[in-house]
Structure 1
Amino acid sequence: MLEFHLGTILFQLIVFVILMIIVGKFGAKPVVEMMRKRQSYIDNQIEKSESSRKEAESLLAEQKSELEKVRQEAQTIIERAKKQGESEADSIISAAKDRADRLVVEARAEITREKDKAIASLRDEVAELSVLLATKILEKEIDEKQYDKEMNQVLKEVGERL
């Protein structure tokens, strides 16, 4: 059966304690040191990851704000270009209307001058023909039949000249 011997149990207990001291002194310290280094490495990696994430978020926010600024500038440029185009179109239309108005005024003035010239020319011709008629009438003393005949001839000449 099982027998317990105090000497064997004490010897085994002393050997176990000595073994624990040796393992604790030579085996546990390197393992604990290795575990501390590993824990430190993991903590360092977590901190780097966290700082990288924060930096990435900050860069993302900065890029979003820059993108919004660029969009606003593009919108401003587009609006400015539209206004400038409308302004140029209005000025071109205004210049064309002014030119058309000037041309109409000049044409009317030219028509008036030509009309006045034609009237003056007709007056001169009528005066010339009146003098010619009076001269012919005075040159010949004619009777009424011949007067009508001469008058028709003069009127025919006036009609041919006009």
Structure 2
Amino acid sequence: MLEIDLKIILAQIVTFLIGVFVLWKIAWKPLVEILAKRKYDISKNISDAQNLKIETEKLKNDYEQMLKNIDGKAQELIQKAITLGDENKQKIITESQIEAKKILDSAKKQIEYEREAVKMDLRREIVPIAISIAEKVTEKLIDKNTKKELIEKFLQDISKQ
């Protein structure tokens, strides 16, 4: 059957303690150093990641601010272009109105000139005809002095028109 042998158990305990002592002296120190280094590396990586996160946030904020500035400048440039376009439009309209007024004034002057020329031509043509008619009519009715007065009056009436 199974018997418990105290010598074997005691030998196993002593062997176990010697093994633990040997491992303690040989392996414990390097194992603790490895774990400490690992702990340091992990904490350093976490710290670096936090620093990178902060730096990334800062860069993101800087870029967002730059985008806002660019949008503001773009809006400003668009507004300037619209204003300039409106000014140019108004300038062109004003110049066109001035030019149209000049053309209209010139046309009115030309029409007035032509009108006066036509009046003068009509007077030149009508006066001899009127004189001829008046002479024929007046020869029968009135003398030379009265003829002259009637012709002068007729010419004055035509001049007034």
- Give, in whole Å, the separation in 1 of the partners of 2:19 and 2:107: 130
Letter of the aligned partner of 1:142 in structure 2? K
> Alignment length, in residue pairs?
127
- Residue of structure 1 aligned with 2:108, choices 101, 112, 115: 115
- Residue of structure 2 aligned with 1:29, choices 22, 27, 32: 22
In the superposition, relative to structure 1, how do residues 37 and 114 fare at CA in structure 2: closer, same or farther (>3 Å)? Answer: same
Q: Deviations over 1:8-43 (max 9, x none)?
A: xxxx9xxx8xx96x8776651323432222221111
- Give, in whole Å, the separation in 1 of the partners of 2:66 and 2:136: 100
- Give, in whole Å, the separation in 1 of the partners of 2:99 and 2:72: 40
Letter of the aligned partner of 2:46 in structure 1? R
Match of 2:47 in 1: 54
Alignment of 1:11-90 (within 5 A): 28-90=21-83
Q: Deviations over 1:45-71 (max 9, x none)?
A: 110011101111111111011101110
- Give, in whole Å, the separation in 2 of the partners of 1:133 and 1:27: 151
- Give, in whole Å, the separation in 2 of the partners of 1:92 and 1:113: 31
Q: What TM-score, normalized by structure 2, do the two folds share? A: 0.71
Q: Which blocks of at least 5 consecutive residues in structure 2 are unaligned?
A: 1-6, 139-161
Match of 2:136 in 1: 142
How far did residue 118 of structure 1 move? 0.4
Match of 1:131 in 2: 124
Q: Deviations over 1:85-131 (max 9, x none)?
A: 00001001110110001001100110000000000000000011011
- Give, in whole Å, the separation in 2 of the partners of 1:65 and 1:32: 50
Letter of the aligned partner of 1:92 in structure 2? G
Match of 2:94 in 1: 101
CA RMSD of aligned residues (A): 2.3
Q: Which blocks of at least 5 consecutive residues in structure 1 are unaligned?
A: 1-11, 145-162
Instruction: Work out the percentage of aligned pairs sharing the same amino acid.
Output: 9
